[in-house]
Amino acid sequence: MDAAAALYVSDLDFTLLRSDATLSARTVSVINGLIAAGVPFTYATARSYLSSRRATAALDLALPVVTYGGTVIADPHDGAPLHVEGMPGVVVSAILDAAIDAGLEPIVYAMEGGRDRVRWHEGSVSSGVRWYVAHREGDPRLAPLRAWNDVDPASIFYITLIGTRERLEALRDGLGGALAECAHFLSLDGYMNEHWLEIHAGSGTKAQAVRRLAGSLGAERVVAFGDNHNDRPLFEVADETCAVANAVPELRALATHVIGANDADGVAEWLAARFA
């Protein structure tokens, strides 16, 4: 098979990464060997560049990476944003107002001065926000707000809400038309065992970002790897799809192949066999 004909794109958490959010030595060896041989490989993740690159530092990535669920395509070496899909400020304001009225504390991501910042209200912090911040100690993106009007809604490109499934579903359903042009995913976070509702521009999904990247690279096909609900749009537009064995049933049902689990180096082993 001609390696240059396809772009290979993997989700990170519970797909390329093990369940402890690290890369195995086997995965690093296989992926770096393929990159050195000229196989176009990158990742698409809901994480930021900083968070994702910390987890993938051992990889010799050469292609741009897809971050924030597809809203930001970033340089693989320094994280500089190469393409950003934002949301209209009026939509952001409607989402924030509804969330705060429902007693759900938003975490928002804003592009300020050419860099992404993480904002939240420091005066009323939920357990989910406390967990999020505590697990990002030293993150230079962290910038708490004294008041929500201290951030320009037009600068916000991604919103995260953490809570019970029932409360997040009620918020999502109540927003109705405000989400008409947004992509939104409700999923269980495997690390903290709470549900996350993530909202961003409808034009900023993994699917659209990967298609944009494939076009810029002249790739004829896309081969995608994933495990969760937010990988579904990517699977629907990719030419060949691989769900790891630990993927949610809905994604496995969509996949061209069901491969080994993340903790068994499923992505790396499948790629090693493909290019053997």
Confidence class for position 191, pLDDT limits 50, 70, 90: low
Over residues 114-135, the pLDDT tens digits come to: 999 999 999 888 889 999 899 8
Question: Residue 258: is its pLDDT beyond 80?
Answer: yes
Coil, helix or strand for 265? coil
For the chain, which residues make up each domain, given as ranges? 3-84+204-274, 89-201
pTM summary value: 0.85
Return the CATH architecture of domain 89-201.
2-Layer Sandwich (3.30)
| Fold of the 3-84+204-274 domain | Rossmann fold (3.40.50)
Q: Residue 203: is it exposed, middle or buried by C-beta count within 10 angstroms (0-12/13-18/19+)?
A: middle
Average pLDDT, integer, range 100-116? 94
Left if phi > 0, otherwise alpha if psi is -120 to 50, otherwise beta: which for 108? beta
Q: Beta-carbon neighbour count of residue 149 at 10 Å?
A: 8
Residue 192: predicted pLDDT: 65
Each residue of 61-90: pLDDT tens digit? Answer: 999 999 999 999 999 999 999 999 999 999
